[in-house]
């Protein structure tokens, strides 16, 4: 009895050891069968691949040749290029012609005023951001930036000869292939001008439809009512005036018309569209890691210029703050819309 008790722990230990071994064998068998099934699935997929994929040097050359053939763009000749340019300029011309008709043939909505409206009694000031400054920063600078970045990207690609051979532009002008950076630059610049045109057209339509008076209206106009009274007379206090005549001296017809074009701010929409467009362009095209901080600095400066332009329109009493807010929103929305749709 005493010997049997002594041998009992050994028997239990042996049984437990055998159970562990059996469990390990079962797990190993399951893993092995799973691996075999996955291997068979992979082999089946490989058999279903096209003949030029896999195995041998000849097959590799065939695969690369097929890839090169697929990646080679369709060749477009001189007729296609000039046709594309004609279509683009026609679209831009339609937008420009519409704006020209609005400014030369149409009159803005004649809007009345209250004589005690203090928001219309600000002095007249010259613009801090002149038109030539705006065109320089919002037209010349974006075009120069796009050309410079695309040219640099093209020079950087020349280090990769094989990639350079595959990355053909596919555009031939008089049997000479146009560099890819020229094609990309034209695409980006034409998209920029298209967005700029529809953005300005949207702004001008709103200006002529609403006809909001500028903050310096009383200074330039000095309105007189048909009965000979002015807003300085007590009898007109609190009245909404629609019938009046501007009696200010040395004021041109252009200034009289411009007094009714306060909403929305054209300078703000113009500046924000151009600057946000270039900010998005730099984010997507200037991806070199060594220029990351420079890219962020340029983006910050561009946004600050648009912001400063919008602020000066209020401080110069050219627009009400709501005019600037609406114009800035139009420019930002069109910049994101154009870059997300046409790029």
135-188 pLDDT, tens digit per residue, is 999 999 999 999 999 988 887 665 544 444 445 556 666 767 677 788 889 999
Q: What is the pLDDT of residues 263-295, one digit of tens each?
A: 999 999 999 999 999 999 999 988 877 788 999
Q: 319 an active-site residue?
A: yes
- φ/ψ of 216, rounded to 5, equals -100, 25
pLDDT for 272: 98
Which of 180, 216, 319, 320 is labelled catalytic?
319
Per-residue pLDDT for the chain (343 aa), expressed as one digit of tens each? 444 445 555 555 566 666 667 776 776 666 555 544 544 554 444 344 343 333 344 444 444 444 444 445 566 667 777 788 888 888 888 888 888 888 888 899 989 999 999 999 999 999 999 999 999 999 999 999 999 999 888 876 655 444 444 455 566 667 676 777 888 899 999 999 999 999 999 999 999 999 999 999 999 999 999 999 999 888 888 889 999 999 988 888 888 999 999 999 999 999 999 999 999 999 998 887 778 899 999 999 999 999 999 999 999 999 999 999 999 999 999 999 999 977 6
Residue 281 near residue 145, CB atoms below 8 Å: yes
Q: 267 an active-site residue?
A: yes
Residue 13 resides in a domain: no
Cross-strand bridge partners of residue 224? 230, 245
Which of 180, 216, 260, 267 is labelled catalytic?
267
- φ/ψ of 205, rounded to 5, equals -60, -40
Residue 153 resides in a domain: yes
Structural domain of 204: 75-158+170-342
Tokens representing 338 are 């154009």
Residue 62 resides in a domain: no
Task: Residue 243: name the closest of 116, 120, 113, 121 by CA.
Answer: 113
Residue 212 near residue 258, CB atoms below 8 Å: no
The domain tally of the chain equals 1
Residue 306 resides in a domain: yes
Residue 35 resides in a domain: no
SS (H, E, C) the chain: CHHHHHHHHHHHHHHHHHHHHHHHHHHHHHHHHHHHHHHHHHHHHHHHCCCCCCCCHHHHHHHHHHHHHHHCCCCECHHHHHHHHHHHHHHHHHHHHHHHHHHHHCCCCCCCEECCCHHHCCCCCCCCCCHHHHHHHHHHHHHHHHHHHHHHHHHHHCCCHHHHHHCCCCEEECCEECCHHHHHHHHHHHHHHHHHHHHHHHHHHHHHHHCCCCCCHHHHHCEECCCCCECCCHHHCCCEECCCEECCCCCCHHHHHHCCCCCCCHHHHHHHHHHHHHHHHHHHHCCCHHHHHHHHHHHHHHHHHHHHHHHHHHHCCCCCHHHHHHHHHHHHHHHHHHHHHHC
Residue 33 resides in a domain: no
Predicted TM-score (pTM) of the model is 0.74
Residue 163 resides in a domain: no
Q: What is the mean pLDDT of the chain?
A: 81
Residue 64 resides in a domain: no
pLDDT for 298: 95
């Amino acid at each position: 009895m005493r010997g049997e008790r002594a041998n009992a722990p050994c028997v239990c230990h042996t049984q437990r050891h055998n159970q562990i071994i059996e469990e390990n064998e079962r797990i190993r068998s399951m893993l092995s069968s799973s691996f075999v099934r996955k291997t068979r699935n992979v082999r089946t997929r490989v058999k279903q691949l096209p003949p030029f994929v896999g195995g041998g040097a000849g097959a590799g050359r065939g695969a690369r040749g097929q890839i090169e053939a697929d990646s080679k763009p369709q060749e477009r000749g001189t007729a296609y290029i000039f046709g594309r340019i004609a279509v683009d300029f026609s679209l831009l011309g339609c937008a420009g012609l519409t704006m020209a008709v609005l400014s030369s043939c149409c009159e803005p909505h004649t809007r009345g005023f209250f004589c005690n409206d203090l928001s219309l009694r600000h002095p007249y000031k010259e613009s801090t951001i002149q038109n030539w400054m705006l065109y320089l920063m919002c037209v010349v600078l974006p075009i120069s930036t796009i050309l410079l970045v695309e040219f640099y990207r093209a020079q950087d690609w020349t280090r990769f000869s094989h990639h350079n051979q595959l990355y053909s532009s596919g555009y031939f002008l008089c049997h000479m292939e146009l560099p890819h950076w020229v094609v990309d630059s034209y695409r980006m610049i034409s998209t920029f001008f298209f967005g700029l045109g529809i953005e300005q057209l949207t702004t001008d339509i709103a200006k002529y439809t609403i006809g909001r008076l500028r903050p310096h209206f009383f200074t330039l106009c000095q309105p007189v009512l048909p009965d000979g009274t002015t807003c300085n007379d007590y009898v007109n206090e609190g009245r909404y005036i629609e019938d009046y005549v501007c009696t200010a001296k040395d004021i041109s017809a252009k200034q009289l018309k411009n007094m009714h074009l306060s909403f929305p701010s054209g300078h703000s929409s113009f500046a924000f569209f151009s600057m946000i467009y270039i900010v998005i362009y730099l984010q997507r095209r200037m991806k070199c890691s060594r220029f990351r901080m420079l890219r962020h600095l340029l983006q910050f400066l561009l946004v600050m210029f648009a912001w400063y332009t919008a602020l000066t329109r209020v401080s110069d009493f050219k627009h009400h703050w709501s005019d600037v807010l609406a114009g800035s929103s139009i420019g930002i929305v069109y910049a994101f819309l154009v870059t997300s749709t046409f790029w």
